[in-house]
Structure 1
């Protein structure tokens, strides 16, 4: 019904002005969704132990409680018999509902999204034993505990704003001449491939439009996105919706739970722009050759492979009774501290066409973010340093930069994972 309503109303012309097209498209989709599906108020999630609960069980349990109250009030044998009958019926209905819910879970586990549901169940069970699901206090720079909602929001905003704008001193590099190349429009097959890879059930960005909308719209949605993304590429101008994000602090499961430094800021970005990011990610990978000793974020090169190689090396050294030394380098706040000017120079050095450099540069210029806390969302602040955690394009940009830096520093066969070599 939602797709039919969107089709009936129609999306705006995707070849028009970028920002106005995106605003009109978003408002149309959200209006159709509200009219068709309704709107929830959100709030805390219910008890996960009663995940099989429904309105029918609610009515049955209420009838049992009413029968119990009637028996307590009259203390007659008839009321007692009625209460026992209601109690027996309630138990039977609960068992029936639980079995039906379990059958539904088993069907989900056998589906193509089964692996995702397994991890969801395990994650929910693990969270039940943690007390860090809702933190209402944080520490300031001096270690003082802040409990006032306004000061907590200000502290979170100040921390992530400082993190997103702190840049270490460095030497200036010699500029690399740009690589000229024709601007290539996106094809519907490229968009179809990317949309198919997008996962469902993920938190939507600030615009509130999930990727499920484009998946359900089928060919109509693919054609609209193809024209819209080609329009963005030709104009080299990203909608402001892509530059706005919401930072969700995720506890690293180590250290003090009320210390902001122990949280990783994951940015929620508009899903439509994440589709575009995946498109932009495809073409540089065809141009840039990452060293064979890079593991993670490369197809068929997993971190597990690097671990296996390290174990094999250690075993060989043990067989020869020789010492083996392995060094691990952890780059603190690696994504957040990457200088953007270095990123543009690296892209040019690796031969990426200048129009692609301009697109990525416009993605980061003027980027803003807000921090989501239990007390509400903070005001916006600008982001001038680093690449965004949560962006589909960031992993490749980061490993390309690290790979280029290492080429200028080291020689010899070494391997690394993400940030280590």
Structure 2
């Protein structure tokens, strides 16, 4: 087909037997076949294999589309120089001069904001200058081990290979082999040198710039992130050009943030830099003046109402937009104003929110919900009382909140008119744009949903969800002793509980109806049912004519609950997760001799231990679990200490050498600390009520499981010397209880 000499046709060779073969091919479609200009073998030493590279030249008649990617050259303000006191002093003095030139008479909010922001940016440019990042001439600077020495060694290897092909003598072959060995050594030494410099820089950052150190650790854990340069359109067509891709992302988020199936909403009334992180007294004064104008006028600058949406990949096909989660970046001065409003709204609505809602509230957290759920399952299993559960998932809950209904809910929760007008001002002209690979889309308005990243949004959302929960409550409630409740809510994670399948169906129907009336929608594909019962029973639940799947286990707030009420699988799961954390940083951090033990142990305490012990306050520690936890702990610490099991060094000796607190002691302290919280909880707090409640029923035959309260009471008796009958009195004194836990041997 294409005439070439034999050396440029054979793709595989075996010199010892003189074999040659053409087994590597380039396959093209029939429509591209007329455009193929040439195909041949390119012999070279780069691949280090017995196969040669096959190359085809194809001439395309149409213009190649521009590909989406990060720009090779980015110019920005070098704001990190503000950490230098001398640079910060220049910045402050220049900023004072700029602010003193601003007229003191009150103008409209836009002109005031323009003068404020331009003064900060000008002062930052004057004091910090610009920074250019990205690849420049001479190649990609990210390949740091590619030095002149490496380049010369690789060049010599290529020349030796070509000389061997041309001459075919034993001397030429030996010269090539020697050049190849030399290249391997040079490249290996260069990579080792770069790793040593990298670890030394990490060690220096650990002591001088902790933020940069942890940013590097996060990047190492995350690994290399591959980005897709194409995306599917709404009709399934693959888009490749930058303009089409950015337009598709704009279309996707515009539809997502403006759903058409929500109740009628009100029509709306008529780039910050990271420099704002280094705020000064001058900025505080001017920003206070700006916020006062916004509060009195009931309007905010347009930049405060503008969000930049960044798509973050979750899982699945990277070319499908729905497999991404959009996060919104907002103006930092606007977030300061939102925080001021949040601190005024929260005291008004907090007393009216139900106890079942535990998210974004002071003295409430995930552990409250996890313990309540665990205690209900534990007590119900002990007395053979069935519990029917439905874990409800809401579709895009944060982005579907109708703002018109939200303002009505805030009015019902006694938010006064002036404050409500200030809250609405953040949404009156809200708009967004999408930024993907440093390419920005056009602006589009957003009429529905709450602002992501806004300090005010969490309290608005829990108020909205609290009203749905209150309106959906009926007679179908779960009883635990004398306490009654129908649901557990953490933001939009809703768990409905009922004594029977029929009662649960009624409760689910009421909740789904209230969600529909409020503009929310239950996701039937992600909502699931589960039954705690000593016998296998079916629980058929329907929403909108669709049957929800029934499962044997469900992960609620990060903890795996099963239909048998056991925690064994949960503990095994976190041990595996901790092992995955160690594997992700094994070669880059854990075994690197250039990093000090102090830096490695900080990673152990900050990442490894929290992963391994998540939810440990609920565990009942058996000898098997203790052995597993101890083994998982020493798996990390032995590598930090530079020893192995073959060295036969006791775990206690390794722990004392590293100065690490025993992990089992850490777990026991957490469990006893939580026990004290439960005893001190005031009446009405849900975890305290179920802790003190006595479930009714008759225990079945057989040995009962060890209850969490019995285990932790025995732990307090054995480790602290406090008998069970005195626990409530001793733990009621917070300082006394805390001192006992600190002195735990």
Deviation at 1:333, TM superposition (A): 1.0
Inter-partner Cα distance in structure 1 for 2:317 and 2:192 = 46
Q: Report which of the two structures shows the higher radius of gyration computed on alpha carbons.
A: 2
Deviation at 1:348, TM superposition (A): 1.0
Inter-partner Cα distance in structure 1 for 2:236 and 2:187 = 54
Residue number in structure 2 paired with 1:202: none
Residue number in structure 2 paired with 1:121: 217
Q: Does 1:269 align with 2:330?
A: yes
Residue deviations 1:337-358 (CA, integer Å, cap 9, x gap) = 1101011111111111211111
Q: Does 1:326 align with 2:326?
A: no
Residue number in structure 2 paired with 1:180: none
Inter-partner Cα distance in structure 1 for 2:375 and 2:115 = 57
Aligned partner (choices 284, 289, 303) of residue 227 of structure 1: 289
Deviation at 1:7, TM superposition (A): 2.9
Q: Does 1:313 align with 2:376?
A: yes
Inter-partner Cα distance in structure 2 for 1:347 and 1:146 = 44
Residue number in structure 1 paired with 2:728: none
Aligned partner (choices 236, 249, 252) of residue 311 of structure 2: 249
Q: How does 1:172-251 map to 2 (within 5 A)?
A: 206-214=271-279, 218-251=280-313
Deviation at 1:369, TM superposition (A): 1.0
Residue number in structure 1 paired with 2:489: 416
Deviation at 1:94, TM superposition (A): 4.6
Aligned partner (choices 393, 398, 402) of residue 339 of structure 1: 402
Inter-partner Cα distance in structure 1 for 2:325 and 2:109 = 32
Report which stretch shifted further, 24-33 or 238-247: 24-33
Secondary structure of residue in 2 paired with 1:372: strand
Inter-partner Cα distance in structure 2 for 1:142 and 1:388 = 29
Structure 2, gaps ≥5 residues long = 1-86, 160-178, 266-270, 475-483, 495-745
Aligned partner (choices 90, 94, 99) of residue 4 of structure 1: 90
Please say if residues 338 and 385 of structure 1, whose CA atoms lie closer than 8 Å, have aligned partners that are also in contact: yes
Inter-partner Cα distance in structure 2 for 1:324 and 1:27 = 61
Question: Are residues 44 and 140 of structure 1, via their aligned partners in 2, closer, same or farther at CA, if it must alter by over 3 Å?
Answer: farther
Q: Does 1:285 align with 2:353?
A: no
Q: How many residues align?
A: 362
Inter-partner Cα distance in structure 1 for 2:135 and 2:406 = 41
Question: Are residues 294 and 99 of structure 1, via their aligned partners in 2, closer, same or farther at CA, if it must alter by over 3 Å?
Answer: same
Secondary structure of residue in 2 paired with 1:387: coil
Residue deviations 1:353-395 (CA, integer Å, cap 9, x gap) = 2111111111111211111123721111111111122222111
Inter-partner Cα distance in structure 1 for 2:190 and 2:216 = 29
Residue deviations 1:305-342 (CA, integer Å, cap 9, x gap) = 31232122222222223332221111111111110101
Deviation at 1:260, TM superposition (A): 1.4
Residue deviations 1:215-249 (CA, integer Å, cap 9, x gap) = xxx32222222222112111111011111221111
Report the aligned-residue RMSD.
Answer: 3.6
Deviation at 1:256, TM superposition (A): 2.8
Question: Are residues 354 and 407 of structure 1, via their aligned partners in 2, closer, same or farther at CA, if it must alter by over 3 Å?
Answer: same
Secondary structure of residue in 1 paired with 2:364: coil
Question: Are residues 288 and 71 of structure 1, via their aligned partners in 2, closer, same or farther at CA, if it must alter by over 3 Å?
Answer: closer
Structure richer in strand, relative to its length: 2
Q: Does 1:359 align with 2:448?
A: no
Residue deviations 1:157-187 (CA, integer Å, cap 9, x gap) = 1111112222435499xxxxxxxxxxxxxxx
Please say if residues 433 and 444 of structure 2, whose CA atoms lie closer than 8 Å, have aligned partners that are also in contact: yes
Please say if residues 124 and 275 of structure 2, whose CA atoms lie closer than 8 Å, have aligned partners that are also in contact: no
Inter-partner Cα distance in structure 1 for 2:373 and 2:233 = 41
Inter-partner Cα distance in structure 1 for 2:327 and 2:216 = 18
Residue number in structure 1 paired with 2:724: none
Secondary structure of residue in 2 paired with 1:267: strand
Question: Are residues 24 and 137 of structure 1, via their aligned partners in 2, closer, same or farther at CA, if it must alter by over 3 Å?
Answer: same
Q: Does 1:104 align with 2:204?
A: yes
| Higher RCO (Cα < 8 Å, 6 or more apart) | 1
Inter-partner Cα distance in structure 1 for 2:386 and 2:358 = 25
Structure 1, gaps ≥5 residues long = 74-79, 173-205
TM-score, structure 1 length as denominator?
A: 0.74
